Structure formats: C-alpha cells, structure tokens
Amino acid sequence: MNTPFAQRRRALLSRLAKSRLGCLLVTRPANWYYLTGFTGESGALVVSRRGTTLITDGRFTAQARAEISGVRIVQQKGSLVAAVGEFLKGAGNVGFDASHVTVAQRAALRGAGGRRVRWVPSAGHVEELRSRKDPQELAKMRLAAILAGKVLEGALKMLKPGVRELEIAAEIEYQMRHLGASGPAFETIVAFGERSAYPHARATAKRLRKNELVVLDLGAILSHYCSDITRTVVVGRASTKIRQWHKSVQEAQAAAIGAVRAGASCGEVDAAARTVLAGHRLDRYFVHSTGHGLGLEVHEDPRVAKGQKQTLEPGNVVTIEPGVYVPGVGGIRIEDDVAVHASNTEVLTRIPRDLIEI
C-alpha cells in the first residue's frame, strides 16, 4: 500500500518518533484529509506506531469505508471527545493541536482518557508537512489557479453600471462549479465604490455606478486544493489618484513577488511590499499582511506577515496581496498565488494585473 496518504502517514510517524509522542490526535478536517483522504465533516484521527484510527459518527462511517484504506474506522457511540478519550485510555503521551482543540474539549478528553494519558500541546506537525506541496499537489494547485483566473476574467465582462454585487458573486461561484470546482474556497468578495475600502466586504445588493472601483477577490476549490486571486478595476474612467494608487499597489506586489524565493524570510517578503507603499506614503492604508499559505485550506502556513522569521521552502505556495484602503474613498488590492521552487518561483495565477477601465 503506497498511496500518497500512506506515505504522508509514514512521514508524520518519523516526525513523531523524534518528538517522543506515542500518539497524535488529529482534529482539523484538512489534516485528516491529507493523511487519509476522508472527506467527512466530523471525526478525529489518531496516528500512532500501532496504526491509524478514524473515530467518527454514524453519518460518516459508510463514507469513510469507501474513501480510505489502511486506517481502522471506529464508530463513536456518544460524543466524539468522549469516544476519543475512551479510545486513548492508557496511551501515554498524546499530542493534540492546542490551536484547534477548545478548552471544553480538552476537559472532556481529560475526563474520558483518565490518568494514564498525558495531553501534550503539539501543533504544526501535519501543517508543516502540508506546507511543502509535492508535485501532484502543485499540479492540482496550478489548475485551481487557472480556473480562478478564467472565472475572474468572465466576471469582468459582466460588470456594467446597474449590476449588483450579489449578482456578480452568484455568477462567479456558478462559473467556478461549471468549470469543475467543488465550490468557492471562501465567500467571494465583490465590493463596489466606497465599499472596496473594506478589505473583506461581503457582497450586498449595492448596484454599480459609473466610474466606481470594483474589487473582485475569489478562489475555487478544485480536487480539494484552493486558489485565491484579486483584481481591482474601474467601470468608466479612473481618477488620477486612483491610477496612482493602483500603480503603487502593483509596484508593491511586484516587489514582494520578486522577494519570494527559497530561503527568504516571510517578513522580508512582507517588508518588500510595505517599503514600496511607504515610498508612496500609502503604507498606513495597507492594513493587513502581505499574504498567506494556500493549499487544502485557503489560509495555512506559512504566513507572509510583518516580522515573520519563518523562511520559505521549496513546495510552499503563498498569496501575495498588498492593498491600500482609504475609508470613504475606496480600496485597491492585487493578489496572486506564488509557488516556491528550489531555484525559481512560479506565479500560478496568470491573468493581467493592470488597472482595467471597462
């Protein structure tokens, strides 16, 4: 049995052996998919040298049997945490993800597991493996990125005065699925006019007016992997100020993409964007980080943020998405997905970045 899932479980076990954890409790859905291929919505995976066990409820056991191999499946009777605690009785050191397990869940695990389990906070084991994509994963991410670009280009053609943000969002998500995506990677952002100054604006019934800014930020899930792309355009004519801002953001993004390479720290990449914007006196309008890792989840390691010391490695895929947001006026963001290779970087999202006036 040498599926990618089995290989990943072996890689995880090598890590665990070094950390002296007998067992790892895997609670995040993206992590259990990565290790087994199970796509159910509820469950927990226990990985140990003695084998891997999925504990889940009656809604998902038939699905689990169809989806996974080489993993024992246990159907919980009562609550998930009670079943997991019971299963792990006497297991010794058990690692768990303190950034995912809630205070109430840990209390229940402790109660059910009894005295002979020591719960050890140990985040990041699976996430670190996931952050280095293998060639098959990169191939899927390329396709997800191309799909997002196509959908974005299609949406631009629908922009005309009078159209509503919600209509564009609906069309975007429909087209994604039409092209084979299982769905959006996150709630599609469509923001017109002043609303573009909200970096994470939810689409509303607002209608587009002439000469307004439009921010489209969308991503698709294709074969389980996410893409994430943003473009900013104007329907009509852009003012001189808007053109200057757009040019500055484009320049900041190019600088950050240029800084992406194996061995660079995430903080350096973030600083590359921030320095360009500071040169245009726009840094105070850049209110978020430069980017984030992308893969099975739309936000994962590594984080491309101010001061981050973590270095980029081959196989990382990150977004690079600087923006400026001026309350009462509007916002501009440009975002692409970038893969880090040993000796070069590869931009996965390949549609033009210029300010388009439609």
What is the binding site for a copy of itself (CB under 8 A)?
39-41, 57-63, 65, 96, 98-107, 121, 123, 166-167, 169-171, 173-174, 176-178, 180, 182-183, 187, 197-205, 287-288, 325, 327
C-beta closer to a copy of itself: residue 51 or 183: 183
Do residues 76 and 57 lie in contact, with contact meaning Cβ atoms separated by under 8 Å? Answer: yes
Exposure letters 324-345 (e unless 16+ CB within 10 A, then b) = bbbeebbbbbbbbbbbbeeeeb
Shortest separation between residue 344's beta carbon and a copy of itself, angstroms? 32
Shortest separation between residue 174's beta carbon and a copy of itself, angstroms? 4
Q: How far apart are CA 318 and CA 297, in angstroms?
A: 12
C-beta closer to a copy of itself: residue 105 or 232: 105
Shortest separation between residue 357's beta carbon and a copy of itself, angstroms? 25
C-beta closer to a copy of itself: residue 215 or 339: 215
C-beta closer to a copy of itself: residue 232 or 345: 232
Q: How far apart are CA 335 and CA 228, in angstroms?
A: 7
Q: How far apart are CA 161 and CA 193, in angstroms?
A: 12
Do residues 244 and 332 lie in contact, with contact meaning Cβ atoms separated by under 8 Å? Answer: no
Shortest separation between residue 177's beta carbon and a copy of itself, angstroms? 3
Residue 204 CB-half CA count within 13 A: 12
Do residues 87 and 46 lie in contact, with contact meaning Cβ atoms separated by under 8 Å? Answer: yes
Q: How far apart are CA 56 and CA 67, in angstroms?
A: 13
Look at residue 358 and give its three-state secondary structure.
coil
C-beta closer to a copy of itself: residue 62 or 342: 62
Shortest separation between residue 250's beta carbon and a copy of itself, angstroms? 20
Look at residue 216 and give its three-state secondary structure.
strand
Shortest separation between residue 100's beta carbon and a copy of itself, angstroms? 6
C-beta closer to a copy of itself: residue 41 or 357: 41
